[in-house]
A = this chain, B = another copy of it.
Amino acid sequence: MTASGERPHVVIVGGGFAGLWTTRALASAPVRITLVDRGNHHLFQPLLYQVATAGLSAPDIAAPLRQILRRQKNVEVRMATVSRIDTDAKTVELDSETGRQSIGFDVLLLASGATHAYFGNDHWARHAPGLKTLDDALDLRRKLLLAFERAESESDPDERDAWLSFAIVGGGPTGVELAGTLAEIARHTLQGEFRNIDPARARVRLVEAGPRVLSSFPDDLSARAQRQLEKLGVEVLTGTPVDDITAEGFQLGERFVRARTVVWAAGVSASPLAECLGVPLDRAGRVPVEPDLSVPGHPDIFVAGDLATLKQANGKPVPGVAPAAKQMGRHVANAIRARLAGSKVAPFRYRDYGNLATIGRMAAVVDLGKWTFSGIVAWWFWLLAHLFFLIGFRNRSVVLLNWSVAYWTHQRAARIILGGDDRSDTK
Contact = CB atoms under 8 A, between A and B. Distances in A.
Interface stretch (A249-257, A315-323, A362-370, A410-418): A410-418
A210 interface: no
Contacts of A194: 66
Interface stretch (A261-269, A334-342, A419-427): A419-427
A417 B96 CA distance: 15
A208 interface: no
Contacts of A145: 40
A314 interface: no
B153 A80 contact: yes
Interface stretch (A325-333, A349-357, A394-402): A394-402
Which among A70, A95, A150, A417 has the highest number of chain B CB atoms within 10 Å? A417
Size class of the A contact interface (CB-based, 8 Å): 35 or more
Nearest to A16: B427
A411 B427 contact: no
A338 B236 CA distance: 55
Given A39-B427, A417-B41, A427-B133, A401 B398 contact: yes
B273 A418 contact: no
A427 to B, nearest CB: 5
Contacts of A417: 39-41, 79
A150 B97 CA distance: 7
Interface string A169-213: 000000000000000000000111111100000000000000000
Given A96-B150, A134-B418, A415-B59, A425 B41 contact: no
Interface string A117-160: 00000000000000001110010000001100110111100010
Given A70-B193, A98-B159, A425-B38, A394 B418 contact: no
Please name the 3 residue pairs, one residue from A and one from B, whose CB atoms are nearest each other, closest first: A59-B414, A38-B426, A66-B193
15 contacts: A36-B426, A39-B417, A40-B149, A58-B414, A59-B414, A67-B415, A77-B195, A79-B149, A95-B424, A96-B153, A112-B425, A135-B423, A138-B419, A271-B427, A393-B405
Interface of A: 13-16, 36-41, 54, 57-60, 62, 64, 66-67, 70-71, 76-83, 94-98, 101, 112-113, 133-135, 138, 145-146, 149-150, 152-155, 159, 190-196, 271-273, 393-394, 397-398, 401-402, 405, 411, 413-419, 422-427
Given A59-B414, A67-B415, 18 more contacts: A14-B426, A15-B427, A38-B425, A38-B426, A57-B58, A58-B414, A59-B413, A59-B415, A70-B193, A82-B425, A82-B426, A95-B424, A97-B146, A98-B154, A112-B427, A272-B425, A273-B425, A419-B419
